[in-house]
Chain A
Amino acid sequence: MMRILLILLWASLLAWPAPGRAQGAETDFATGIVSLQVTNQGYDAAFPWNKHREQQIAGNALVVTGPFLLTAADMVKNATLILVRKFGAYPDFTADLVKVDYQLNLALLRVDDPAFWAGLQPLPISEQPLLQGRFGIKRWRHNGRFEQGSGEVVEYRMATSRFGDLDLPQLRGASSMSGLGWSEVLTHDAAAIGLVTGHNGQELVALTGHSLALFVKAAQAPQQRSFAHRGFSWQALNSEAMKAHFGQARDDPGVLIRRMYAGGTGHRLLREGDILKRIGDHDIDPEGQIRHPAFGTVAFTIAVNDALGPTINVDILRDGKPLRLQLQRERFTEDTYRIAPYEFDEAPDYQVFGGLVVQELTRDYLQRWGANWRTQAPARLLIEHDLASLRDADSPVEKVVFVSRVLPDPVNIGYEDLRNAIVTALNGIPIRDLASFRQAMDKPQGDFHVLQLLPGQGRSTVVFRATELARAGDRISQLYGVPQRH
């Protein structure tokens, strides 16, 4: 009996009736947050001509000025239908994407039916982080209940975005609420201060109001640039010996620039060996920290996306000489990546070649090995992902092309065991992507196609007779139900 009473009491604390049925300030949140129900259907990275079963997920979105709805991009990836519901009650409205930024993990939605917006109010977004103390957590459940809980700030830290290597401040919090991670809204006073993007036990992680506000501004003003990537890696200069070696006094600011990527902010103007001393208005301490007016002591990388301006000034020391540079805030392009960090909303490309399924490596493919993919996925592919998913500034544009599997057929007898083997050349032509692979398919070596694979993966040469390959293409396509691509 006691247990039942406790549950009822708990439910009464969490459940909040829809507007019109209750009074009080808290109802403002219920008019600024709506529930989402998304049907999604992604492609199978390992059988890229197939789609997974469709599935439905439920989450939340924030009403923002426009009016638009703001939610995590994770909620709407591979979406085939997005339904929104206000006040936890019938009817549902259809929503469409205005802008989705998977690398940032945010999406802006619109609902064209004016009836949807009646009674809803944009919830202000606070760019000022709550550095300590308790915050509210608000969400709609699919049973139509509006739940309110709370959590406590653990810390703010710079983290890499879930899908795309953006440096973003991330709120880590603690909460006893269960089932978080579906774009629940974090609040403080009368404003939103974050969207929950992940949850593990009693720990949640959230995108901060700072990122939400910048994204909304950028999404509604096409002339505004969106978030930018850092185009270099760096090393702390926190050893007196290192500082002295580079002609720095112990208390001089600055970090060492190391590797330049083929894209991103600074990749054109900075050089390996530069000492980056100041970014924007901030001196960079030898461990890479700055004093940020909102976030306090935080990694200098926050400054790359601190504002939406097209450029940012940096002060560097190059060969002992001070230099001021104006860096374009730049985003990685598709060519920056050797391995795509995600592949949503479109079918992965592939080529079936004599029954060998040839693909460009993506993180999605590696994640097929489940939650422990970082140790369970094929070792050589993982090494490629972990060490070289980003292209270096001076390296040619290329993707990691590999044979994922073999669809057995008489034409490929003897090669059936090939799995996850990286391709280096076809018919003597170096392979840099699927396009170059297809071009090489048109240039057999006499009567034969000769495929070269990285040594140490089972076999490094595969040979087909060109005439047999052409015949086998139709046969394999029909036998295994694989649409031909070439």
Chain B
Amino acid sequence: MCPTALPKQIGAWCVRGMRVPLLASLLMLLAAAGGAQVPGGEGTIEQAVVSVQVTAQRGDWYTPWQRRQPVQLVGSGFLIGKGTVMTNAHVVSDARQILVRRNGDSTPYVAHVAHVAHDSDLALLRVEDEAFDIGVTPLRLGDLPNLRTRVRTYGFAAGGERISRTEGVVSRIEFVTYVHSGADAHLAIQTDSAINPGNSGGPVVQEGRVVGVAFQANPELNDVGFFIPTTVIKRFLQDIQDGRYDGFGDLGIVRCNLLNPAYRAFLKLPAGRAGVVVDQVLPGSSADGAVKAGDVILAIDGHPLTNDGNIDYMGHTLGYEQIAEEKQIDDPLRLRLWSGGAQKEVLLTIKPLAHASRMRERFDVLPRYVVYAGLVFMELDQEYLNIFGNYWENANQRLLYAHFFQPAERPETLDETPIVLTRILPHAVNRAYVGFANSLVSEINGMAITALEDIPQAFAAGGGEYHLIKLERGGSQLILERAAAAQAQGEILRQYGVREAKRLE
């Protein structure tokens, strides 16, 4: 089956613990750095594992000028350098305060997020207090573990006061959707080691080295947990070397297997050559201009592909996208193609996908919006659809089409952000339009709306007596008297507690 941008299905969940009381006792320091502890030994590992207690507060995508109630959460983390803790992004997302404690140590240390990668669910915390990790040896990263080898997972499962350790076997290494963002798929390792709420961010260890970070599980399967492999972790650490996290690029290629002999013959692919056929190239992506639909990808950076898109990667059979996964933004990548009946090599430059951010869950940002005359305008993104709860498929079908299907069917619109009239704050000036919420906005005062920034400009445009708003929902029109709308604006903001009429940063 070809990878598609279909909605994520319920079925996997992040391991994120509830807040529980922490033990008020000090962990005895067993050894100073380089002391009696055997590097990679049990004691060394457990010393380096911390609980991460977070107070988080998210924006509210239904009432975007407000924030939700703060919540408290507990996850795990581990030291990978002096004063540096690695954990999951979902543990520290939208954090207002982060406290870390070492196993058995009642002393909470204030930490802050140094770098966060929501697309790969990783974060680095910094703890300024030097006392935090005196005598602790940071853990070292290992490589991809082999299938059927044993691993140990450390963390504060269920937010417990004491570290827990579980063992399991590596059962599968493959690309999976990272639930935190909901829209990114990277390599992940499946294990039958128990990974429970609170384990998030804890290290998974093999032979004294960290081979992954525990991050999600699947409640539909018994005793199946997933951890982020060091290929992803090392890429993250490399990305932030310049002090900034740039994120993953994307080839921008939708590809399909070439298992069918007739399809291979149609493409005149010589016998003995294998690869996948390019189904679609997204405009503005890494592959745009260099690759076209119907090309066959034969090899990526020298790794030959099979007809179902796999390569041999360090002894593992993985999707060829793994090579692109390791690249940083602006890195080169070489593809060998079968194109138009001949072989050729193309060199791509890795770029991020322009519209990827609106397909993801959003963290550490507040929703953007514009309120005018009681009409609330927002961008159509995954967070907005989430206000429909677990049943966002119940949302207006036009919204679902614009979000999930339009990017593939009308890629020429990828750089346009669909804008939604999300709510109408009832007032005499807009009383006839309350039923038009959750509609896409196509035009205001003759100006096509393709970004939220267009809204204030469009209302300011033109000098007529009326504002004319055209919706996509069956071509409905909303008309406001310009003077009355301007007059009502302040009153509506006051009545509904809207502190700022817009947030566009």
A residues sitting closer than 8 Å to B (CB atoms) are: 233, 235-236, 238-242, 244-245, 256, 258-259, 272, 375, 379-380, 382-383, 386-387, 411-415, 417, 447-448, 450, 454-465, 468
Knowing A239-B431, A245-B479, A375-B393, the reply to whether A415 touches B260 (Cβ < 8 A) is yes
Interface string of B40-56 (1 = CB under 8 A from A): 00000000000000000
Point out the residues of chain B lying under 8 angstroms from A412, CB to CB.
Answer: 260
- Tell me which residues from 235 to 259 in chain B have a Cβ below 8 Å from any Cβ of chain A: 254, 256-259
CB distance from A472 to the nearest CB of B (A): 10
Distance between Cα atoms of A205 and B443 in the complex (Å): 40
B residues sitting closer than 8 Å to A (CB atoms) are: 1-2, 4-7, 254, 256-263, 265-266, 277, 279-280, 293-294, 391, 393-394, 397-398, 400-401, 404-405, 407-409, 411, 429, 431-433, 465-466, 468, 474-481, 484
CB distance from A372 to the nearest CB of B (A): 10
Point out the residues of chain A lying under 8 angstroms from B7, CB to CB.
Answer: 379
Point out the residues of chain B lying under 8 angstroms from A459, CB to CB.
Answer: 2, 256, 279
Knowing A375-B391, A448-B262, A455-B254, the reply to whether A387 touches B401 (Cβ < 8 A) is yes
Cβ A239 vs Cβ B479 within 8 A = yes
Distance between Cα atoms of A236 and B433 in the complex (Å): 10
**Which residue of the partner chain, among A233, A242, A379, A463, contacts B263 with CB atoms under 8 Å?**
A463
Distance between Cα atoms of A462 and B266 in the complex (Å): 10
Cβ A383 vs Cβ B262 within 8 A = no
Q: At the interface, is chain A mostly helix, strand, loop or mixed?
A: mixed
Point out the residues of chain A lying under 8 angstroms from B277, CB to CB.
Answer: 461
Residue of A235, A244, A455, A462 with most partner-chain B CB within 10 A: A455
**Which residue of the partner chain, among A256, A382, A463, contacts B477 with CB atoms under 8 Å?**
A256
Distance between Cα atoms of A461 and B264 in the complex (Å): 12
Cβ A236 vs Cβ B432 within 8 A = yes
Cβ A241 vs Cβ B481 within 8 A = yes
Point out the residues of chain A lying under 8 angstroms from B476, CB to CB.
Answer: 235, 258
Knowing A457-B4, A460-B279, the reply to whether A413 touches B432 (Cβ < 8 A) is no
Cβ A458 vs Cβ B432 within 8 A = no
Across the A-B interface, give the 5 residue pairs with the lowest CB-CB distance, nearest first: A456-B408, A414-B259, A239-B432, A414-B260, A465-B262
Cβ A458 vs Cβ B474 within 8 A = no
Knowing A259-B475, A379-B393, the reply to whether A460 touches B260 (Cβ < 8 A) is no
Point out the residues of chain A lying under 8 angstroms from B5, CB to CB.
Answer: 456
CB distance from A459 to the nearest CB of B (A): 4
Q: At the interface, is chain B mostly helix, strand, loop or mixed?
A: mixed
Cβ B481 vs Cβ A244 within 8 A = yes
Cβ A383 vs Cβ B397 within 8 A = yes
Point out the residues of chain A lying under 8 angstroms from B397, CB to CB.
Answer: 382-383, 386-387
Cβ A455 vs Cβ B398 within 8 A = no
Distance between Cα atoms of A29 and B490 in the complex (Å): 65
Cβ B408 vs Cβ A463 within 8 A = no
Cβ B474 vs Cβ A258 within 8 A = yes
Cβ B466 vs Cβ A241 within 8 A = yes
6 pairs across A/B with beta carbons < 8 Å?
A: A241-B484, A258-B475, A375-B393, A379-B400, A383-B400, A456-B405
Q: 4 new A-B pairs (CB below 8 Å) besides A413-B259, A455-B408, A458-B1?
A: A241-B466, A259-B474, A455-B279, A458-B2
Closest A residue to B410 using CB positions: A455
Residue of B400, B432, B484 with most partner-chain A CB within 10 A: B432
**Which residue of the partner chain, among A240, A272, A382, A411, contacts B481 with CB atoms under 8 Å?**
A240
Closest A residue to B407 using CB positions: A456
Cβ A465 vs Cβ B265 within 8 A = yes
Point out the residues of chain B lying under 8 angstroms from A239, CB to CB.
Answer: 431-433, 478-479
Distance between Cα atoms of A457 and B398 in the complex (Å): 17
Distance between Cα atoms of A244 and B75 in the complex (Å): 60
Closest A residue to B255 using CB positions: A459
Residue of A414, A456, A460 with most partner-chain B CB within 10 A: A456
CB distance from B98 to the nearest CB of A (A): 39
Distance between Cα atoms of A458 and B1 in the complex (Å): 6
Point out the residues of chain B lying under 8 angstroms from A456, CB to CB.
Answer: 4-6, 404-405, 407-409
Point out the residues of chain A lying under 8 angstroms from B477, CB to CB.
Answer: 235, 242, 256
Cβ B480 vs Cβ A414 within 8 A = no
Knowing A379-B393, A456-B407, A459-B2, the reply to whether A242 touches B432 (Cβ < 8 A) is yes
Distance between Cα atoms of A415 and B258 in the complex (Å): 9
CB distance from B425 to the nearest CB of A (A): 16
Residue of B263, B393, B466 with most partner-chain A CB within 10 A: B263
